[in-house]
Amino acid sequence: MWLLLTTLALAPAPVEIPAGTYTQGAQIQPDAPPRQVSLAAFRIDATEVSIADFEAWVASGAYSERAHWSSAGWDWAKQNPQGLGVVDRAAGRTPDHPVVGVSWFEAEAYCVAKGGRLPTEAEWERAACGGKAQDYPWGVGEKAAVWYDGGKFGHLSQVKTSPVSLAPDDQLSPEGLAHMAGNLWEWTADWYGPWEEGAVSDPAGPESGTWRVLRGGSYMNLPSYCRCQRREPRRPEQASFTAGFRCAY
C-alpha cells in the first residue's frame, strides 16, 4: 500500500521528536561504537527538501542574501553564485523530487532561511530509527526501499530518486518520516570524526574537521549503506547526484 503525503509536500509540517535517551551507533565496522545519547526535543522535516522548494528559495535571491549563510558558507557562495545551477540540481526530474547537487553550505543556508538548521548526526539517527535498536526505519529486514537494486553489474541510466512525499507507509520511520533509508544521502550538521566516549547529551560532533557527515544512503547504494547507523564522510563543498538534505528546528 502506498501513502501519498501530498499535504506535506505543499506545506512541510515538521515532525515533533520528544526528548529522550537512545543508543546511538552500532557494533558494526566501520561505524562508531554504541553510546548513550540524551537529546532535547526537536522537530525535523518529514521529507527531504524538494526541487520545488529549493528552487523557490534560489529564485528569492538566496545566493546574495548574506543573512542566510555562515561565514564559511558565504565565502563559498561568493565563489559559486548559483551553486551547480538549476539544471544539475533537477537532474532531469520533476519538481516533486528531492533536490540533489547541493553542497553542505547550501543545505545549511536553506535551513537557516527557513528558521531552522541541519539536524545533528545524533538527531538524525534518533529520527531515522525512532531511537530503537534496529537496522532500518521500519525495523529489521530489507524491503524494496529506494536503494540500489541493479544487481551485481546493474547500471543506472538516470538519477533514480522517488518524489519526496511518495513512500510506502511500511517504510516510514516510527514517527512517520519518509526516506530516512535510501533515496538520498542527507547532510547533517556535524563534522566527521570519532565520537566522544560514554554517555553524552545533545552532542554536536567535533569542533572542526575536513568532512561533514552524510546519513541514510541513496538510490545508488546497497541496503547496507542505508542503515540508520551508517556514517559517510563528505567534503562540505562536494555536491553530488546522491546527496540532499532535510532541516531540523
Sites of contact with another protein (CB under 8 A): 28-30, 84, 88, 101, 148, 155-159, 192-194, 210-211, 218, 220-222, 224-225, 231-235, 238-242
Our CB check for another protein shows the closer of 30 and 198 to be: 30
User: Closer CB to another protein, residue 187 or residue 225?
Assistant: 225
State in angstroms the smallest separation of the CB of 34 from another protein.
16
The nearest distance, CB 10 to another protein, in angstroms, is: 29
Nearer to another protein, 159 or 178 (CB): 159
The whole-angstrom separation of Cα 128 and Cα 179 is: 9
**Interatomic CA distance for residues 124 and 12, integer angstroms:** 17
Residue 203 CB, nearest distance to another protein (Å)?
16
b/e code 29-42 from CB counts within 10 Å (16+ = b)? eeebebbebebeeb
Min. distance of Cβ 132 from another protein in angstroms? 20
The residue among 79 and 157 lying less far from another protein, judged by its C-beta, is 157
Which residues lie below 8 Å from residue 189, measured CB to CB, with a gap of 6+? 108, 117, 118, 119, 120, 121, 204, 205, 212
Q: How far is the CB of 95 from another protein (least distance, A)?
A: 20
**Contact (CB, 8 A) for 221 and 84:** no
- Residue closer to another protein by CB (options 65, 88) is 88
User: Which residues lie below 8 Å from residue 224, measured CB to CB, with a gap of 6+?
Assistant: 230
